[in-house]
Amino acid sequence: MGNIVKFFVAISALILSSAVMGQQVLDRVAVIVNEGVVLESEVDQLLKQVKANAARSNAELPADKVLRIQAMDRLILTELQKQVAQRMGITISDAQLEQTLTRIANDQDLSVDELRARVTSNGDSWSSYRESVRNEMITSEVQRAAVRRRVYISPQEVSNLVEAMNEATEQEVEYRLGHILIGFRDNATADEVQATRERAEKLLTKLREGADFERAAITSSSGSRALDGGDMGWMNINSMPTLFADAVRGKSKGQLIGPLRSGVGFHILKVNDLRGIEQVEISEVKARHILITPSVILSERRAKEQLEDIRARIVAGELDFAEAAREHSADTGSAANGGDLGWAEPSIYAPEFKRTLEEANIGEISQPFKTQFGWHIAEVLDRRVQDATKRSQENRAYQLLFSRKYQEELENWQQEIRDEAYIETVID
């Protein structure tokens, strides 16, 4: 059955590749990927983007043939992930896409119309740009869906990392790493592994003699960040793969590291930059509230009036707040505790609730206000600035462990779906 599918995919690719209107080829298939294809126009568009980015940053690029191979590799992986997303039923609606485009524009202090003008002024199609953003969103969603379940972090791992962080007396440092992967195939022979090692060592020698790292990454790396010059962004020792962390620890800016062997090849690293990390404090509020939820038998107006009456009786001393919460509040979680919400950062609450708590004086019972959950009255019992170092470290330790394991599992998953795929290059 699989061979029949591949046969019809190949036939379809040939038909599409030879589609002619007035002796002009409309588009051609560059690569067959399972039941899908990568079109030559997609490869050309990605190459155009890479060259435009390089021109803006005055970066030197390798030969077009090398760039084309890297572009096809990225598009193959993108197509495979889109196919997985389709099987999972993952889609991005136009509304979600518009929200993301608005956020992208805002991050650049632009309106969406100004962003569109900038894109088109660079010679790019706005519709193509929109679809590229949609594809990136789909890719991110499918990666999270497929990889998150492969990552497990035990409480003991978090505890151990927090302890290690507490023992550190020096300010934590973040590294901006450049990465080159000289990969070998699955089940590579000893001779193939040795040949790959020699290629990596030869490249490292050239880098130490002054060869440009970014250009070498684009030319030679099979890592996922190759077209970005190998830039892995800012990472803490604890958030990078263990193999890298052990080698990078204590290294200074500009140092080259490697080759480091992993299950997928030999890695070369460069410390592009370093920066420190500061600890933070948080403001917390202790509050209590009473919630009345409108229903088919209780209108919005009556819910508000009921709270106004309860508030008036509490202020007059006729009713205790805690007793009123236990009797009337629809928030069963806090009602049993007299409406007490405990200590928390205001940012965890709904925007209207957060704003009310921030504006209220201690001991003041608010006027009724509405959130998505219904009508509330709230009282701020106390405020404090909390040294949340321990809590912050625990949260951060978890995120760092997750980041490390997620990146490792992501590369493993991407390699797995590529190994399992039918891939045939139609146009070199």
**Which domains does the chain carry?**
2-149 (1.10.4030.10), 173-276 (3.10.50.40), 282-386 (3.10.50.40)
pLDDT at 394: 85
pLDDT at 15: 43
Return the closest-CA partner of residue 224 out of 421, 33, 74. Answer: 74
Return the closest-CA partner of residue 426 out of 132, 11, 5, 77. Answer: 11
pLDDT at 26: 62
Return the closest-CA partner of residue 256 out of 216, 208, 210, 219. Answer: 208
pLDDT at 48: 85
Sheet-wide strand order for 173-183: 231-236, 173-183, 265-276, 256-261
pTM for this prediction: 0.48
The pLDDT tens digits along the chain (428 residues) read 444 444 444 444 444 444 433 334 467 998 999 999 999 988 888 888 888 888 888 888 888 889 989 999 999 999 999 999 999 999 899 899 999 999 999 999 999 999 999 988 877 789 888 988 998 999 999 999 899 889 999 999 998 988 777 666 444 678 999 999 999 988 889 999 999 999 999 999 999 999 999 999 999 998 888 999 999 999 888 788 889 988 987 787 889 998 999 989 999 999 999 887 555 678 899 999 999 999 989 999 999 999 999 999 999 999 999 999 999 999 989 999 999 999 999 999 999 999 999 999 999 999 999 999 999 999 999 999 876 667 777 888 898 899 889 989 999 999 999 999 999 988 76
pLDDT at 253: 84
Give Cβ neighbours of residue 177 (< 8 Å, ≥ 6 apart).
Answer: 231, 232, 235, 240, 244, 248, 269, 270, 271, 272
d(CA 179, CA 247): 13
Return the closest-CA partner of residue 203 out of 270, 274, 273, 272. Answer: 270
Lookup: tokens for 202: 């030869």
Q: How far is CA 85 from CA 142, 147, 244, 317, in A?
A: 5, 13, 30, 60
